[in-house]
Structure formats: structure tokens, C-alpha cells
Structure 1
Amino acid sequence: METMTIGNATLTWVNGGVTHMDGGAMFGVVPKPLWSLKYPHNELNQIELRCDPILLQVENHNILIDSGVGFGKLPDKLKRNFGVLEESRVFESLKQLKLTPEDIDTILMTHLHFDHASGLTYINDGKLTSSFPNSKVITSEVEWEEMQKPNMRSKNTYWKENWESVQHQIVTFKENYEVIPGLTMTHTGGHSNGHSVIHYDDGKDSFVHMADLMPTHAHQNPLWVLAYDDYPVTSVHEKKALLDEAYEKDRWFIFYHDAYYRALKFDQEQSIMDKIERKRYEYQ
């Protein structure tokens, strides 16, 4: 597991599983000769996307950013179509850190698509159960409403089995939510109508987690947005504003999906200045 310190916060990436999504869909209208120079693909034109929650430890809080793809819940057809070659081992990762699922006090859900929200519940003695029973689960009001009442497009990713067992833990917000001083969630829309990003700033250092507005380092160009985005024009404008602010304030960018980098910092020319690479090894 990779760990880094940003200001007073310690970040650790735990094993949330992996997907392999269609590269064309992940880069929208960007031609393959361009995006394939930035991010590798396999013979099926799929790109590797980790789904690794970020454990944020600050001020005696154990906070997870998103929850992984879960385990024991995904049907074989979906695992095949989305290249889920490895399911979550978040519980095992926490055990290595001498923590239990009960020690997690807050989960920040940037949005509730299956590859982010499936780890919220698991099957225990044949019954769907909350994975983190003592935590608040924070998401935008719009996202929570759509999760419960998906439309004909979003019903393929907003699943009842990912929310029914945790509905008593949900805390929603409209525009901004201060989790603790310096740690804030902000509703952006774009990727989904209720999509949110996360900022942390303690006066010493800062990061931004842009979630699926910038799922990998290869999506740095503001115009490179996903075909999966429900509101791509919103994504472009929100992404541009977040990038400009991050460059100006010298923020770290942290990633949930990137299979190659956990975190990056860019210089004024928008070239990589500092980085935390993901260790390329097989989980046992």
C-alpha cells in the first residue's frame, strides 16, 4: 500500500479492486492515436482503472474516499464486460493497518456509480450488510436522490443493493460540506448530476481529488472528458476551473482510478513536478 503525507493528513491507498473499461468510452471524442499515447490499453482496447479507496487519517479521524467495487456481489456478466479481474480487499488492507471496518468514521462518496459505491455493502450470512457500520456516508443531495430513483440510463449503475443497507448512515448536502476544518466536499455535477470533488488545505499543503472529472493523469486536458459523463459540457467547465485553481495554489492531485500514479503535482508549465507512483505488483 502506498502512503503519503500532505500537510497534517496521512493518505493510504487500500485495495478496492480493479476494472478494465473501454478506452474510447473513457476518453470520449478524443481519437485513440492521441489518448493511447497517454495511457496504455490492452488488446480489447480496455484501460486499467483501479478502484482503490483513499484512507485519509487526520485529527484522529479515519475517513475513506469512495468504497471500491466490493466483493461477492458482482454478476459474472458484469465482471466480464467491465474487466473486473480483482474484487475489493479493503477489509484485508485495513487489517494490515491495524484497523477494522468499524474504525472508519466517515466515507466521502464523490458519486454513487457501481465502481465507487459497491464496497459500501457486502453479503454477510446471506444478507446485505453495511461494510462500515459506524461511519457517516456523505454525498450530495442530488446524487442520493438519483441513486434511489435512477432514470433509464443511470439504472445500470445505481443499484439498490449498494444503498438500502446504508440509508440510515447517509448525510447529504446541497453545494458544499465541511467534513472537518480544511476538508471540504463540493458539488460539481458533470460526470453525474450529483458528482462532487474534495479539497483539503491545512495552510501547509493541500490536495484536490477531482474524482471522475479527472479519473487519471491522462485526463489532464480540460477537454478530455468521458463518454460516460451525463453532462460533458459541465464537466469541461468545472474541470478547467479546478485545474486552474490547483495550478495556482500548487495543490497535489490525488486519484482513485489511476493505475500508474496515486498522486501528482504539476509545475507552472503543467508538467509533472512530483509524483507518487502505484507499485505494480500482484495482490496475494
Structure 2
Amino acid sequence: MKVGAFEIIALNGGQTQMDGGAIFGVVPKPLWSKKYPVNENNQVPLVTHPLLIRTGDKNIIIDTGIGRGKLSEKQIRNYGVTEESKIGEALAKQHLTVEDIDLVLMTHMHFDHATGLTDSEGKAIFPNAWHYVQQDEWHEFISPNIRSKATYWTQNRGTYESKLILFEDEIEPYPGIKMKHTGGHSFGHCIIEFQSEGEKAVHMADILSTTAHINPLWVTAYDDYPMQSIREKERLTRQYAAEGYWILFYHDVSHLAIKLTEDGKHIMSSIKRDE
């Protein structure tokens, strides 16, 4: 899809099948199963597809997928991994290599977003890119607590740290692209806004992980600060709907992007992943 001068392309960063109760939290299954697919093991399919943003003079990647060759057999089983990352192959289809990536923007550092930062030896997958991470998120990543250590993995540290840029509330790594701290899903979680030639889009990452999570009260059991997620969604989805933003997805198995009706409650138009 295009947003003004920005071309946005989903890259194959892998696919998982996570427990439905974890993804939809306290929402009863008879409700969420009407809005999102589920298998006989109560697992829901979630892609981990980074977004490639081609601006004309820069190549930017948002989040990095689950990597390749870094997950143990136990992790592959527990997270229902059906496919590991094929970032190199996906970039080749765009006549690019990992060396051509200029910026890596991380919405947060959970394993399903950050394992593709490095190879199994800790070498940066995108060696020439500046990597942007919210400061609180970074510090929790390198020193997780008893809960967060399950998803902030030391194996995802690596040589990219020599090209690391931290920020607090907001930063504009490229004209028209802003990273904004929201918290909620994690303390340092961020969203990313795009504006170009009068067109607008936003990547709300894991505070709006699938189209089934539009209701502000539907948050995952993985959210460390669920009331903050609800607070952000309540305000932002209505704003983005009213202002005509495309909402982009990293996890939704069917949708790359949607636009909401003005009241923020229903899908008005969509771009499917297979289109």
C-alpha cells in the first residue's frame, strides 16, 4: 500500500499460534471467536510481519519478526511457531538486502518483535541501520523483572547496540514518521504515525494487535499495564478514525490495514494481506 510518498510492504517475519485466552484476556471465547480464527487447541494464528517503509531515499523497517534459527524446540512448541523469519527472501523480492536498511524502529522489545534483530551469534541482522527504541523499554529489556524476563530475551542483544538511539516521549526519525510512547502493552511500548502528501497511517502495534481488538476493553493477558492500554485505545482509535488514518497491523493474520468508521467502532475499509 502507499501513504502519500511512502510505500508500505509487509515482510515475512514468521508466524506463531498463541493461546486464545492469552491474546484476548478476560474476553469470553464465545465473543472473540466470532471475530478471529481459532483452532481445536484454542490457538489463534498471529503473523509477525515487519513493515518495510520505502520513502524514496531511505529504507525503514518496523519491528523484526521472530528470527531464524534462534528458537529452541520448546519455544517453537510453546509459541506454536509454524514458520520462522524469511526477511532476507522478502527483501530480495524488493531488490534489497539487509545491508540496505537505514533505520529500524522498534515498537517494543518483546521476543516476537525483537528476535529478528540478531543472528544466533548476536550479530546485527541490519548492520548499517540506526535502531530506535524508547528509553524505558530499552532499560527493561536489558534488566527485566520477574514477569518480563519471559519475553525480554538476552539472546536478542547484539552488535546493533553500537547504532542505538533512545528517546523518551516522541521522536521523528524521518520527516513525516513519528514514534510516540504509549505504554500499556509494555511500559515503553510505542506507536508510529505516518503523514505524507495529506495521507495518514498509524501502526498501533500491540495495543491494537488485531482487528478483533478494536473494542478498547479487549486487551491481551500479555499487557503489563492493561488499564494504560485501554486508556490509550479509548482516546486514539476515536482520533485516528475521525481523522481518516489507516491503521496498520503486525500480527493480524488477514489484514494489513483498515480504516474505521468515524465513531471508531467498525471497519469501513480494509487492505487484506493477500491482495
Deviations 1:232-284 (A, max 9, x none): 0000001111101101111000000000100111222533222111229xxxx
User: In the alignment, which residue of structure 1 is the partner of 2:164?
Assistant: 170
Matched, 1:33 2:30: yes
Matched, 1:118 2:76: no
Give secondary structure in 2 for the equivalent of 1:221.
coil
Residue 202 of structure 1: how far off its partner (Å): 2.1
User: In the alignment, which residue of structure 2 is the partner of 1:64?
Assistant: 61
Amino acid at match of 2:106: M
Range that drifts further, 262-271 or 218-227: 262-271
2:168, 2:20 → 1: CA distance? 33
Amino acid at match of 1:23: G
| 1:232-247 alignment, distance < 5 Å | 232-247=226-241
1:194, 1:80 → 2: CA distance? 28
1:226, 1:96 → 2: CA distance? 34
Give secondary structure in 2 for the equivalent of 1:129.
coil
Matched, 1:24 2:18: no
Matched, 1:149 2:143: yes
1:157, 1:268 → 2: CA distance? 36
Given that residues 123 and 158 in structure 2 are in contact (C-alpha distance below 8 angstroms), is that contact kept between their aligned partners in structure 1? no
User: In the alignment, which residue of structure 1 is the partner of 2:192?
Assistant: 198
Match among 224, 228, 253 for residue 218 of structure 2: 224
Range that drifts further, 95-104 or 261-270: 261-270
Match among 187, 193, 207 for residue 213 of structure 1: 207
Q: CA RMSD, aligned part only?
A: 1.1
Runs of 4+ in 1 over 3 A off after TM superposition: none
2:229, 2:262 → 1: CA distance? 23
Deviations 1:67-111 (A, max 9, x none): 000000000001101101100000111111110101000011000
User: In the alignment, which residue of structure 2 is the partner of 1:274?
Assistant: 269
Range that drifts further, 201-210 or 96-105: 201-210
2:243, 2:197 → 1: CA distance? 11
1:244, 1:161 → 2: CA distance? 38
2:83, 2:94 → 1: CA distance? 21
Between Structure 1 and Structure 2, how many residues are aligned? 274
Residue 186 of structure 1: how far off its partner (Å): 0.4
Task: Specify every segment of 5 or more residues in structure 2 that has no aligned partner in the other structure, as ranges.
Answer: none
Given that residues 135 and 188 in structure 2 are in contact (C-alpha distance below 8 angstroms), is that contact kept between their aligned partners in structure 1? yes
Range that drifts further, 195-204 or 182-191: 195-204
| 1:33-112 alignment, distance < 5 Å | 33-112=30-109
Task: Specify every segment of 5 or more residues in structure 1 that has no aligned partner in the other structure, as ranges.
Answer: none
Amino acid at match of 1:93: A
> What TM-score, normalized to structure 1?
0.94
Matched, 1:11 2:5: no
Amino acid at match of 2:82: L
Amino acid at match of 2:170: N
Match among 173, 177, 196 for residue 179 of structure 1: 173
Give secondary structure in 2 for the equivalent of 1:128.
coil
Give secondary structure in 1 for the equivalent of 2:239.
helix
Amino acid at match of 1:278: R
Give secondary structure in 1 for the equivalent of 2:206.
helix
Amino acid at match of 2:98: P
Give secondary structure in 2 for the equivalent of 1:122.
coil
